[in-house]
C-alpha cells in the first residue's frame, strides 16, 4: 500500500529532510537482518540525508537499529497530526465570490493565441474556516486555453497590502465576470491598498525579472522576449500608479512597443537600456508621489471582519 500524500509533498521540490530531524515511519520497513520489521509509527532520527529525494534516507531508532526509507515513506514528527488531517477535501468552487479577466486580454496585448487568464477570490463559510483541516491559500484550475487562480480572501488582502502587482491588477481590471456583494465592496475600497509599497514591490519584481533574463542570456545565449515585455509593462504600470493613484491595466498606448519586444525585436542590451530609462522615471515618480507611506490597514482589517461575519451562517 502506498503511503498517504501528506503536506510534506507540498514543500519545495528541492526540499530534503536534514540529518538530525525526527521522523515517523509511515510504512513497515525491514531491518538489515531481513527477518524483523520496524512498524508504521516508529519514531527515529535521520542519520544521513541523500542528495535528493530519489534516494533513501538512513534512519536510526532508539534501540540503535537503522533502516533505509524514502521521502514518501516518512513524515516529520512535529507535523504528523497536521499531515494526517491535511487540507479540506470539500469542493471550494461554490465559494468563489470574484472572478475577472487579467493578462494580455485585459492589457490590450492579446493575439489569436492568447489564453484566458482568470483570477479572483474565494471566501469559505465559517464552518470550513474554523475546521481543523486546512484551507488552501489559493485554488488553481487549468484547461487547454484557460488558466484560473482564486486566492482565499485573507491571503488576497495580505498580498494586496504588500502591493503585489498580480493582485492589484485583479482589483483594477475592468473585465469583471463575477462579483458578489463582498467583492463589490472590496473593489469600491481598492485605493486603501495603494501606498509607497508600490515602488518597493514593483522594483523587486522588475529586478527579479531582469536577473532571470540576464541568467538566461548567460546560460543559454538568449532571453525570453515575453519576460522582457512584462518587465517594461510593469515599469509603465508602476509609474502610472505613483503618478495617478490608479493601477494601469490597459496599456494599448504602448502596444506597438510592447508587442515589438514580445516578438523579440530588441537585443538584451536594448531591453536593459529601455528598462533603465523607465526606472529613472519610476524613481522620479516615487519622489513626487502623493501616495501614503502605508496602506489603510484599519479599513482593510474592518472589511475582512465584516466578510467573515457574513459567512458564519453560510
Dihedral angle of Cα 17, 21, 26, 28, to the nearest 10 degrees: 110
The pTM score is: 0.76
pLDDT at 7 over 50: no
pLDDT at 32 over 90: no
**The predicted structure's pLDDT at residue 80:** 58
Letter string b/e over residues 88-101, b meaning 16 or more CB atoms within 10 A of that residue's CB:
beeebeebbbbbbb
Averaged over 292-311, what is the pLDDT?
97
Range in 71-80, 95-104, 152-161 with the lowest mean pLDDT:
71-80
**Distance between CA atoms of residues 79 and 75, nearest Å:** 7
Provide the grid cell at 183: 467583492
Say if residues 7 and 86 touch (Cβ distance below 8 Å). yes
- Residues 103-124: pLDDT tens digits? 999 999 988 778 899 999 999 9
Letter string b/e over residues 196-214, b meaning 16 or more CB atoms within 10 A of that residue's CB:
bbbbebbbebbeebbeebe
- Residues 138-166: pLDDT tens digits? 999 988 888 999 999 999 999 999 999 99
**Distance between CA atoms of residues 4 and 72, nearest Å:** 8
Order across the sheet with 22-25: list the strands.
Answer: 66-69, 57-61, 43-48, 22-25, 74-76
Letter string b/e over residues 258-286, b meaning 16 or more CB atoms within 10 A of that residue's CB:
beebbeeebebeebbebbeebbeebeebb
Amino acid at each position: 500500500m502506498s503511503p498517504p500524500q501528506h503536506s510534506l509533498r507540498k514543500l519545495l521540490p528541492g526540499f530534503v529532510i536534514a540529518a538530525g530531524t525526527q521522523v515517523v515511519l509511515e510504512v513497515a520497513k525491514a531491518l538489515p537482518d531481513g527477518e524483523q520489521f520496524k512498524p508504521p509509527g516508529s519514531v527515529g532520527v535521520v542519520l544521513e540525508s541523500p542528495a535528493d529525494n530519489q534516494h533513501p534516507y538512513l534512519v536510526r531508532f532508539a534501540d540503535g537499529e537503522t533502516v533505509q526509507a524514502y521521502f514518501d515513506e516518512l513524515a516529520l514528527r512535529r507535523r504528523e497530526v497536521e499531515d494526517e488531517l491535511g487540507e479540506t477535501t470539500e469542493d471550494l468552487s461554490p465559494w468563489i465570490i470574484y472572478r475577472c479577466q487579467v493578462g494580455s486580454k485585459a492589457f490590450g496585448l492579446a493575439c489569436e493565441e492568447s489564453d484566458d487568464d482568470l483570477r479572483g477570490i474565494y471566501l469559505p463559510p465559517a464552518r470550513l474556516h474554523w475546521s481543523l483541516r486546512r484551507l488552501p491559500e489559493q485554488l488553481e484550475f487549468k484547461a487547454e486555453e484557460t488558466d484560473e487562480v482564486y486566492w482565499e480572501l485573507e491571503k488576497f488582502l495580505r498580498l494586496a497590502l504588500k502591493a503585489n502587482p498580480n493582485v492589484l491588477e485583479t482589483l483594477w481590471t475592468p473585465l469583471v465576470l463575477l462579483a458578489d456583494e463582498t467583492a463589490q465592496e472590496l473593489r469600491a475600497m481598492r485605493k486603501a491598498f495603494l501606498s509607497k509599497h508600490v515602488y518597493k514591490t514593483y522594483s523587486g519584481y522588475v529586478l527579479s525579472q531582469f536577473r532571470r533574463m540576464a541568467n538566461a542570456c548567460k546560460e543559454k545565449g538568449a532571453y525570453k522576449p515575453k519576460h522582457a515585455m512584462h518587465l517594461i509593462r510593469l515599469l509603465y504600470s508602476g509609474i502610472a500608479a505613483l503618478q495617478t493613484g490608479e493601477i494601469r491595466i490597459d496599456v494599448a498606448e504602448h502596444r506597438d512597443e510592447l508587442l515589438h519586444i514580445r516578438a523579440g525585436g530588441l537585443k538584451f542590451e536594448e531591453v536593459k537600456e529601455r528598462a533603465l530609462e523607465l526606472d529613472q522615471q519610476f524613481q522620479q515618480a516615487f519622489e513626487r508621489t502623493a501616495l501614503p507611506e502605508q496602506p489603510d490597514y484599519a479599513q482593510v482589517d474592518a472589511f475582512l471582519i465584516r466578510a467573515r461575519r457574513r459567512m458564519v451562517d453560510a
